[in-house]
Amino acid sequence: MLKKLIIALIILTFNILMLMFPQEVISAAKDGLLLWYNNVLPSLLPFMIGANLLAGTGLIRRIGKLLHPIMMKIFGVPGAGSFALIAGLMSGYPVGAKIATDLRQNGTLTKIEARRLIAFCNNAGPSLIIGSVATTMLGAPQLGYFMLVIHIIAALSTGVLFKFILKDKPGTNVILQASNASTNKSFVSLFGDSVTSAVTILTQVGGFIVLFSVIARLIDSTGLMSALNDVSRGFLIGTIEIVNGANILNETALDTSHKALLIGALAAWGGLSIHAQTINIINKTDIGVSVYICGKALHMIFAIIYGLLALKISEYITAPNWPVFSNSFATNSNFGFTIVVVVPIAIFVCLKFK
């Protein structure tokens, strides 16, 4: 009863705020819609259709047999999981989660294998990190590759760790009854179903992007974060909706290396907007939301650690146009906020939902 009352009050507050800040709501909704139309839809739709077609033809199972020894040894996940990981890294959120969910639903993965996979296969893609962040925002395309490598290594580290965190237990190795319906369909029917499924998922994704763009803008407009500096405000907004937070961080006085590190951490975390998109997908299975949230928290921690190490090492590497790590960064109050507040919260979430 109390839970329902709290949810009702939150929804009521949200509607009141929309009436109080109509211009901000309209502007944020337009920005979210344009982000979806210009970036998300064209980058994800082809990948999702292709993934659905591959799954329908049974090719993923065949590819999985080749990569099974490597994936099982390193991540404790069958070879078929490599498709979710690679596709997720190529096309970005929430493709990895969608494929992992499909693999669980069609019986390719056991429950424990699907939980391990979902912890590290749903990631930001090159279009976000290299395109939107490094090139458009930071004006340093070469930095995007640097950020992407850190993002991938952090994701793989999360996967390795979860092999040991999630042990096989009775009841977790159940394989769902696989369906052969998709493989018996004609190509025309399979193609039509693939397009319909992809468009449906991306329409829902668009709705979440618009909604959380509005939420992030409303929180910023109310002045609730006025006591924070721009870096802290941008980072917290980014934990809700990454693009809005990244834009605020990009406008701060931080140097490029500091901006890249903080935005890279946000890309690893994903933000509540992306979490809502992912949860909407994985709720159709028994994978569980807590493992996914824990995985993204660890991904963010690894991204911060590796980013700090890599930027420190870059002090001793002569490379034109590479950002140089500042010795003052470790004592910077903005960095202190990130480490002292955000990282412990992420660790707590991970331990809480283990």
Across residues 115-137, what is the average pLDDT?
Answer: 90
From the CB of residue 195, how many other CB atoms can be counted at a distance below 10 Å?
15
- Read off the pLDDT of residues 258-267 as tens digits, 9 standing for 90 and up: 899 999 999 9
Across residues 145-160, what is the average pLDDT?
Answer: 94
The CB-side HSE value for 18 (13 A sphere, CA atoms) comes to 15
- Read off the pLDDT of residues 183-224 as tens digits, 9 standing for 90 and up: 566 778 888 888 998 888 889 888 888 998 899 889 888 887
- Read off the pLDDT of residues 30-89 as tens digits, 9 standing for 90 and up: 988 998 888 788 877 887 788 778 767 767 777 778 888 999 999 999 998 998 998 888
- Amino acid (1-letter code) at residue 197: S
Structural element, H or E, at residue 219: helix 187-221
Q: For 175, list phi and psi in degrees, rounded to 5.
A: -100, 125
pLDDT at 62: 75
- Read off the pLDDT of residues 3-42 as tens digits, 9 standing for 90 and up: 788 889 989 999 999 999 999 999 999 988 998 888 788 8
Banded model confidence at residue 131, pLDDT cuts 50, 70, 90: confident
Q: What percent of the chain has pLDDT over 70?
A: 83
Across residues 309-328, what is the average pLDDT?
Answer: 59
pLDDT at 151: 96
From the CB of residue 26, how many other CB atoms can be counted at a distance below 10 Å?
13
Closest CA to 342 of 254, 207, 257, 245: 245
* pTM across the whole model: 0.80
From the CB of residue 145, how many other CB atoms can be counted at a distance below 10 Å?
13
Q: Is 325 a residue whose pLDDT tops 60?
A: no
Give the distance from CA 132 to its chain's centroid: 15
User: Minimum mean pLDDT among 100-104, 188-192, 232-236: which range?
Assistant: 188-192
| Cα–Cα dist 97/256, whole Å | 31
Distances (CA, A) of 26 to 20, 21, 35, 194, 209: 12, 9, 14, 33, 14
